[in-house]
Each structure stands twice: as C-alpha cells, then as structure tokens.
Structure 1
Amino acid sequence: MSEQLSFVSPTANSPWGTYLSQVDRVVPYLGPLARWVETLKRPKRALIVDVPIEMDDGTIAHFEGYRVQHNMSRGPGKGGVRFHPDVTLEEVMALSAWMTIKTAAVNLPYGGAKGGIRVDPKKLSLQELEKVTRRYTSEIGIIIGPHTDIPAPDVNTNAQIMAWMMDTYSMNVGGTATGVVTGKPLHLGGSLGRVKATGRGVFVTGREAARRLGMDLRGARIAVQGFGNVGSVAAELFAEAGAKIVAVQDHTGTIVNSNGLDLAKLVPISRTDGVIGFKAGGDIVPNEDFWNTPCDILIPAALEGQLTAERAQKTTAKLVLEGANGPTVPQADDILAERGVLVVPDVICNAGGVTVSYFEWVQDFSSFFWDEDEINVRLDRIMMNALNHIWDTADKHKITLRTATYAVACERILMARQERGLYP
C-alpha cells in the first residue's frame, strides 16, 4: 500500500496539488510503465536546514532553508535556489518535480531538484546576504555536488549568489569545483547566453506555436505578467519580431497601452522603479484588469498559480506561453482547452534556462567554452526538436500539449526507473 508523504497536505490548487493532478492526467498514456507512477508522486529526498547568521547589528537571526531532490533516475538533480519570504517546503517540492519533468521533456541528462530560503533578501545588507548564502550552502553541501545535484539562480538569486555558493562548496571540498552550480559569472566558468536563455526559450517555442496556429507575430498583441529576467527578455524578442507588448504587470502594478509599450524606455525604468514608473508610456490600471486586456498572446512569467479558472474565462488570448513554473491551475487548463486556447506548458516553454545551464555544466567539465552564437543555435535546435516531438504526441493522442509533454517526459523517467530497477 502506498501513502502520501505526511509532511504535506496539498490542496487542489497548491503547487504540489497542481503537480499531482498533472501526473494523474497522464497515467492513461503510460501503458505498462504506469505501475511505476508512484515514483513521480513523492520526492526522493527532502532536506530542511536551519540557517543561522550574525546580523550587522550583532543579533543572531535564523532562517529556514530547503533542498529537495525529486527524482534522479536520469541523472544528477538540477534546479534553482530562490530567496523569498513565502518559500515553503511544499512549493519547493513542486518546483523540484517540475524540474524532473522539464529536464526529461527536453531530454537533458538530469533529474529534478530545487532549493530555497524563507527570507526577504531586500531586507538584508550585502554582507548579510553573503552570510545567508554561504551558511545555506554549507548546510546543503551534504547532498549537492557536480555529479549529484547542481543548483542555479531562481527568484531573487543571481550570478553573485552562485559565485558565493561555488566558493563555499569549493572551500569545503578543498578544490575549485566550478560545476557545482550554473548561472555563475563568466570569469568563474559561467556560460554566454545564460542570462537570456529562459526568455529566449519562451520566444522560440512561442514563435513555433504561433506559426502552427497561423498567427502572424507582426502586429500580434502580447500581455506579459512578470517583467523580470524571463518576461522582459521574451517581450523584447517578440517586439523585435514585430509584435506589440500591450500590457505588462509586475509587483508594482499594471501598465497598459493598446498601441504597444516602448520597451526601450520601459525595461530600464522597470529595473529601478517597476513598470508603473513608466507612467508616461501607458495607463496604470488595477492588477485584475490585466487579465481581460485584449491580447493575442498571454505570457504568465511571474509565480505559480496566477492563471485561475476565473482569469482563464476572462482572457482574450489564443495562445498562452508559460514563462513561470506552474502559473496555470488545473481548472484553468480545462477552461482554456474548452475555449480553444493553446497553452505551451512551463516544462517545455521555459526550459531554455536549464538547457543553457546544461551547456554551462558541460563546458565547465571540458574547460572549453562556446561563443554565444553557437549556444543560441544549440538552444534553438533542442527547444524546437523537443516541442515538435511533443506536438506530434499531442496530435497522435488528441490531447493537450501539457498532457503530451508529461507523457513524453514521464515515459523517459519511468523507463529509466524500470531499467535501473530497485535497490537493494
């Protein structure tokens, strides 16, 4: 008899609940491999750590950190680390599971992992941020490594934090281990093209989806939720292709311009003041109005659970590109399918980041680095091949792209599990 893990009680629209629902939907397409499906419904390993540091004022503060390795049947764990005050174990479990699916969907030799610290990094000084990063890295050092689990940047983390993580791990093992993390600074073994890779992947898969739908990107209206690294890069690439960015939302608010926002001015302003700092470029509207802004393409690139059933009814988009992880709840998925709205799921749409992270990892081991053109060509080819295979699977079984992505990914994961067998 199988029982769910006792430390989470997922609700239907919680991150872990959403993931479990997505797995349940793919079981009919797994054939004999379905006997292994419980493997996908529980993480292999979940580590909760205390992260104590001395603050600048001399007080001692404690933060809770996590590292979850969901599945490693196909290779080392791979997944980012986020610093956010709302991070929970359940969220990190779901994110690690989506990484398992994502790496298998694009056929990278990885499993899925994820990490996080429940902290608001904006309230820390640079010195305190470094202390939190280094202590967390030491605490999870017992399960990470270049051949076991490779962290990367995620929400509120960046190349500097990856450099601190790499240095801390390297000091603890007594040698420079550049391959322990990806998303590092270039001069420490980072890869060209990594910063824009996730946004580029959203654009590449979106461009192909639009072509298959017969949608001309020239003049297409695009609404982007989340205007950080992923959303802004995707927006810029779509604008270069002739599309109009008509609505943008970030943590500061929502700005709309039916004639298209001037990204050359909006992007630098958003970095310091948020999108509502660009008051002269459009109209500031209530955040909920973002979802019924007339558009052809919707890009949710913020956090999970944003595209609800109610919002799925509102949107005028014909194409949804999931730049974030888990932005669409299962009920919304059903509504969008009924309305004929095509959803390119997160686990393929935003896989550009982990793909170039894989390139970085490979380059670190070989100590031979590629130029950015080569990286972009390789990235585009992998993304296109993965999407085309998934699309063919969807057409064959008359299922959504999400279910087809899970069918392809889960088959690869469970075939590896079956062939490896159970130990002992």
Structure 2
Amino acid sequence: MPAPLLSVSWTDEVTGRRGYLVVDRLVRGVASGGLRMREGCTLEEVTGLARGMTMKEALHYDPEARYVPLGGAKGGIDCAPGDPESYGVLVRYLRAMGPYVERFWTMGEDLGLTQETVDRAVAEAGLTSCVQAVYPLLDDREAARRRLADAFALRVGGISLGELAGGCGVAESALTALDRAGQPHRGTRVSLQGLGTMGGATARFLAGAGLTVVAVADAKGTIANDAGLDVEALLAARDAHGTVDRGALRPADRELPGGAWLSAKAEVLVPAAVSYCVDTANEQRIRARWVVEAANMPVLPEAEARLAARGVTVLPDVVANSATNAWWWWTLFGDIPADADRALAHVRRSMRALTGEVLDRAAHCGTTPRAAAHALVADRLPHIAARYGTYR
C-alpha cells in the first residue's frame, strides 16, 4: 500500500496528550473521515482508518449521482472521552488542526465523540463547520447546509436520523448476506458488542427485520436472554455512551461478563464498539456464521483468516458501516432530502446493491468479502482519478 498523502502528529501543550491527523487521499482537493477519541489511540490506528475511509468513499462512487466520493482521512486523539480534561483537549486539537479543517479535511463524530460534542468544540475553536472544506464543491451552499441541519434534527422513535442511517446500513448488509444464503430472518439470533450510536441503531433494524437479539455488551458487561432481549427497552434505558441502566432489565435477562457476547449462541455477531476486539486469542470462541463489522477494524487480519478457514463470513467495515459517511454526503449534495423514509430507503437500496456486488465478486473469485471489496476499490479509484485528478 502507498504511504498516506499527509500525516500530522500533535502534542497538547496543556496535558501532553497526543493527537493525529492522516489524509490518505484527496479527491477534488477534499478528504472525508471522522475524529475519534479514545485512550491508547495511535498514529498507526489512524492511518489504517484513513485508508479505510478512502475505500468507503470509492465503494459508493456513482458517476450519475450528485455526490462524488471524496478522499479518505481520519483524526484521532489519545484521551479517554470521560477524562475531565477531554473537552479542552478536543478544542485545542481542533484549533491546531484548523487550517486542515478549513481547507481539505471534512470530519464528524467517531468512536468516543458525539456529533453534538464535535459541533460545540468546532464552534469554540473558531471554525465555521466540521465540513466547511466541502463547501466550495456545493452548487448551493446555504441550501445544502439547511438540508443537512434539517436531516440531523429528525428523530424516529427517539433516535436521530444520523444514527439510524449507519445502523440501517449495517443491518441491510447483514440481511443481504442472510438472504443470499437462504437463512430466514425469523429465528436467526444476533449478538452485539456495543449499544451506542452504531450498535443501538443496528440492533433496532435487525430486531425489526425479525431477528432475535440474544446478547448485548456494554461497558458494564453483557446482557443476555436466549429468548430474546427487548431491544427498544434497552435503547430507552441507555445513557449517552450506550451503557444500559440495569434497572430496566426483565427477570429473565441475565448479566454476564463483558466478553460473553463473543461466544453467544448466535448466527450473527456484530462488533459495534471498539477496534481490534477479535484476535487470534479469542476468535475460536465465535460460534456465529457471520461477523458484521459495525465498528472500524474490529477483526484483526490473522483472526479473520482463521474465521474464513472455519467457514465464517466477515462482512468488512469498509462495506458494512459505510452508510454513515455516505448518508452525510447524499444529504449535503442533494441526492436525498431531509426526509427519514426516503433517506432510509436510499440507504437500503445502496447497501443491498453494494453488499451484493461484494459477495458476488467474492464468490466468483473464491476470495473473502474484504478481498473482494479491496478489488472493487482498485477498479474504481483509477476512474475517479481520471475524472477529477489525484490531488485536485
């Protein structure tokens, strides 16, 4: 793989905390990718995430759409989100990265940060918007900003459309794989790590499709019920970080250790919380037939190879969780309106088509879905570069 276009390391002058920005590629002079905040975040991690964003953008390339995929980038801060000094670190990081945000890095929430926190910190850092770099590419900047703001203000069943778009995409990716394998939705069991932004919405859509959510892990441990958890009750009882109030559990719900979600008796496993959580030390505990990466980089390559050898299909993050990013741009560029039904219908169609294309290529070439996705990206990037140039 070629080196990224730009790699920046930063040290907070107040706390000594480290932060990073990696721009993997520019398209039309702009790159897209969120900002994560977690204890232990590294430059290597951010570099991998930035490469993943290049892939997610390229996989959604449609020459007929208003939204033209951007380049890939990612930001990261080595600080626990719950640290009392975390917000100050975030604001100072954004001030330091201000020239990049203004010119070519569009970003939003990621692991450890909510969009509300990002927007507040962006304003305090003196920036116009976390996506202001893309404004020169818009035909009608004010109409586009209103459309995105209106879309973010929409809530369905107490969850914002921004959260729902990502979870809908993960769910549709999983459902496409089930349908192609002839696996009925009713009776298929799901175990998730994480009930936050991505995991919570994914759980809602999978349960709505008839699947049975039998285990959910959060910061306090795993909640399990072989007969099925009440997903909506758990969503209503979670805090801003996705931790469920145990007072909302039913008598038949069990509390298990945090790692129990991994070995739950379920056909579908959804890591939706942290990176690198499935490795060679624990992959043998997985009993699922499908692993759907709602989080970024949750399955290490060596573990994925072992899972594939056991007949376990891993739907990669660059496909499964790509709707969150794409929804932003579909909305901002005007491919979809600020309307929940139409937006989610667009997500479903797009994710069904993309996942199907990846699975078809994997089957035809005898490779994993990840390898097939990488091959599709390799096909599409030259077309994007030929049309728009590599850096301009």
TM-score tier, shorter chain, comes to 0.7 to 0.9
Deviations 1:319-367 (A, max 9, x none): 111111111111221222222222211110001100112124325xx9x
Shift of 1:177: 5.0
Q: What amino acid is aligned across from residue 293 of structure 2 in structure 1?
A: E
With the length of structure 1 as denominator, give the TM-score of the two structures: 0.78
Shift of 1:204: 0.9
Tell whether the 8 Å contact from 2:28 to 2:389 is kept in structure 1 after alignment. no
Q: Which residue of 1 aligns with 2:12?
A: 51
Which runs of no fewer than 5 residues in structure 2 stay unpaired? 62-67, 135-144, 155-160
> Corresponding residue for 2:236?
268
Contact kept in structure 2, 1:160 and 1:185, CA below 8 Å: no
Query: Post-superposition shift, 1:213?
Result: 0.8
Distance 2:148 2:51 in 1: 31
Q: Which residue identity does 1:150 align to in structure 2?
A: T
Deviation at 1:80, TM superposition (A): 0.7
| Structure 1 residues without counterparts, runs of 5 or longer | 1-37, 53-59
Aligned-partner Cα distance in 2 for 1:362–1:422: 21
d(CA) in 2 for partners of 1:187 and 1:106?
A: 19
Partner of 1:139: 96
- Whether contact under 8 Å (1:336, 1:342) holds in the other structure is yes
- Alignment partner of 1:399: what SS? coil
Residue 180 (str. 1) matches residue 132 (str. 2): yes
Query: Cα 1:149–1:177, aligned 2, differ >3 Å: closer, same or farther?
Result: same
Determine whether 1:112 maps to 2:72.
yes
Q: Contact 2:148/2:331 (CA < 8 Å) preserved in 1?
A: no
Indicate if the aligned counterparts of 1:249 and 1:275 stay in contact, CA closer than 8 A.
no
Task: Give the partner amino acid of 2:12.
Answer: V
Map 1:4-403; keep pairs closer than 5 Å: 38-39=1-2, 42-52=3-13, 60-73=14-27, 76-107=30-61, 109-124=69-84, 129=87, 131-145=88-102, 148-167=104-123, 171=126, 176-177=128-129, 179-180=131-132, 188=149, 191=152, 192=154, 193-271=161-239, 274-275=243-244, 277=246, 278=248, 280-363=251-334, 369-403=337-371
Of the structure 1 ranges 197-206 and 312-321, higher mean CA displacement relative to structure 2 is found in 312-321
**Which is worse superposed, 201-210 or 280-289?**
280-289
Distance 2:46 2:353 in 1: 29
How far did residue 314 of structure 1 move?
2.2
CA contact (8 A) 1:254 1:290 kept: yes
For 2:81 and 2:278, locate their aligned partners in 1 and report how far apart those are by CA, in whole Å.
26
Give the aligned length: 366
State the TM-score, normalizing by the size of structure 2. 0.84
| Aligned counterparts of 1:148 and 1:333: Cα–Cα separation in 2 | 34
CA RMSD in angstroms, aligned pairs only: 3.0
- Identity percentage of aligned residues: 28
Alignment CA distance shift 1:88-1:177 (3 Å)? closer
Change (3 A) 1:229 1:333: same
Distance across 2 between alignment mates of 1:361 and 1:187: 6
How far apart are residue 133 of structure 1 and its match? Answer: 3.2
CA pair 349-421 structure 1, distance change in 2 beyond 3 A: closer
Say whether the 8 Å CA contact 1:203–1:237 is kept in structure 2.
Answer: yes
CA distance in structure 2 between the partners assigned to 1:79 and 1:409 by the alignment: 17
- Give the Cα separation in 1 of the matches to 2:186 and 2:308: 25
Give distance in 1, aligned partners of 2:146 and 2:339: 15
Q: Which amino acid aligns with 2:312?
A: V
**2-structure distance, mates of 1:371, 1:419:** 31
In the alignment, the residues of structure 2 paired with residue 321 and residue 294 of structure 1 have an alpha-carbon distance, to the nearest angstrom, of 15
Task: State the Cα distance separating 1:370 from its structure 2 match.
Answer: 2.7
Tell me which amino acid in the other structure corresponds to 2:4: P
Q: Closer, same or farther in 2 for the Cα pair 1:46/1:402, shift >3 Å? A: same
Q: Which amino acid aligns with 1:288?
A: G
Distance 1:44 1:341, change over 3 A: same
After alignment, is 147-156 or 159-168 more displaced? 159-168
8 A Cα contact 1:303 1:327, kept in partner: yes
Tell whether the 8 Å contact from 2:106 to 2:130 is kept in structure 1 after alignment. Answer: no
Highest Rg: 1 or 2? 1
Deviates more, 1:284-293 or 1:347-356: 284-293
Q: 1:360 to 1:160 in 2, by over 3 A?
A: same
* Aligned-residue offset at 1:198: 1.3
Q: Is the 8 A contact 1:323 1:350 kept in 2?
A: yes
Distance 1:265 1:90, change over 3 A: same
CA distance in 2, matches of 1:325, 1:276: 26
Q: Match for 1:115: what amino acid?
A: G
Higher mean alpha-carbon deviation, 116-125 vs 299-308, is at 116-125
DSSP-derived class of the 1:304 partner: coil
Cα drift, residue 109 of structure 1: 1.1
Distance 1:307 1:212, change over 3 A: same
